[in-house]
Amino acid sequence: MPLINLPDFANDLLSEFAARNAERIDTPVIQPAEPFLDIAGEDLRRRIFMTESETGASLCLRPEFTIPVCLRHIETATGTPKRYAYLGEVFRQRRDGANEFYQAGIEDLGDINIPSADARAIGDATGILARLLPGRRLSVTLGDQAVFEAVVQALGLPLGWQKRLIHAFGNMTQLEALLAGLVSPQFVTGLDDDIARLVASGDEQALVAHIEQEMQATGYSTNASRSPLEIARRLKEKLILSETRLDDAAFHVLEEFLSLDVPLVNASAALAGFADAAGLKLGNALSRFNGRVAALANAGVDLSCLDYRAAFGRPLDYYTGLVFEVTAEGSSAVLAGGGRFDRLLTFLGATDRIPAVGFSFWLDRIETERAAA
């Protein structure tokens, strides 16, 4: 289907992609909904336009391109490294702007030189925007999911709390609520006395047997929902989480980390100083961060327009490391955004682990900025 009402710079954009050896790919507008519901994150899930096939399969209008491009790569069994470019319509509810709009971008799959690939993504995004918006100074906000995960893990919190905090990364409202719960835990109430006793005893086998007996007695099918074992383990995890309290020192360490907001040229030193003062070993996450900064400098990216904000994330659950967004001076509109998603292709069915990074442009926002120039 031919694309209509494209902005006048669309062909320039495609030329930029071709010059960067990115193969243009198209994906169906109608997509299986399950990958987006399972992987993309709550923020995107609640804005998807859903439908259903005649056989009852859940479908949706394409809400973004990263997952469809990765699915196409897996389906065609294409080797890596591979760079894909796309330009097309996406459909999702937005707080501002139309619910049907154009996005374009590049997905870089399989490059094992992580720092170089990250630097290329940022360099390509800013380089293309600089051509589309000549004379406009660009600003890049950069975060790192892997560094946040390393901090949370180094604090030694229970795995359940680590998962919750990591899941909330980038959403400060949710993150602050979770931290408040860690400082002042709310104990589990309302459990049946027998279940409460069995959970507290730690006897998983007896707890599972009791839950299974109760489910059979009430006619509740184990095939329709979680199994007795899953329910038992979820109850145990809930009890552990409710009894976990983050001591004041650890809380202040997290607060200090999340408050870091520095020019990227100073970020490596700031992170090293933070880790030393807190007595945390951030290991590979910090090494990869430093490698990315060096790769950006080697690639000729203007580091003066990049800032690192420790609390910055993007509302998609598949990111695993670098996350970034680009704005133009004098405007808060995000013109481009992207990041690293090393686990996504495995989740989608790839047999091998495929490192990946990419970015998208919001064409309607770029068009607005060009018109205002």
pLDDT at site 223: 45
CA–CA distance, 60 with 52 (Å, rounded to integer)? 8
Domains of the chain as residue ranges with CATH: 10-150+262-372 (3.30.930.10), 193-243 (no CATH)
Token pair, residue 247, equals 């001591």
Peptide bond preceding 263: is omega within 30 degrees of 0, i.e. cis? Answer: no
Amino acid at 219: G
What pLDDT is stored for residue 220 in this prediction?
64
- How does pLDDT run along the chain (373 residues), one tens digit per residue? 456 789 999 999 999 999 999 999 999 999 999 999 888 767 778 889 999 899 988 999 999 999 999 999 999 988 889 999 999 999 999 888 889 999 999 999 999 999 999 999 999 999 999 999 999 999 999 999 999 999 999 988 777 778 878 888 888 888 888 777 776 655 555 567 677 676 667 777 877 787 777 777 776 654 445 677 777 666 666 665 565 666 778 888 989 999 999 999 999 999 999 999 999 999 899 999 999 999 999 999 999 999 999 999 987 788 999 999 999 998 999 999 999 999 999 999 999 999 999 999 999 999 999 998 7
Pairing of strands 356-362, 336-340: antiparallel
Mark the binding-site residues, compressed into ranges.
Answer: 64-66, 92, 103, 107, 314, 318-319
What pLDDT, on a 0 to 100 scale, did the predictor assign at position 224? 45
Contacts of 281 (CB under 8 A, 6+ apart): 154, 275
Distance of CA 148 to the CA centre of its chain: 12
- Bridging pattern class, strands 100-109 and 82-91: antiparallel
The closest of 52, 35, 101 to 360, measured between CA atoms, is: 101
User: What are the E-state strand segments in 148-293?
Assistant: 261-263
pLDDT at 336: 98
Alpha-carbon separation of residue 308 from 267, 291, 305, 329, 359 (angstroms) = 6, 14, 10, 17, 18
Detail the residues annotated as belonging to a binding site for L-histidine.
64-66, 92, 103, 107, 314, 318-319
* Torsion of Cα atoms, 81 then 87 then 92 then 96, to 10°: 120
> What is the SS3 assignment for 207?
helix
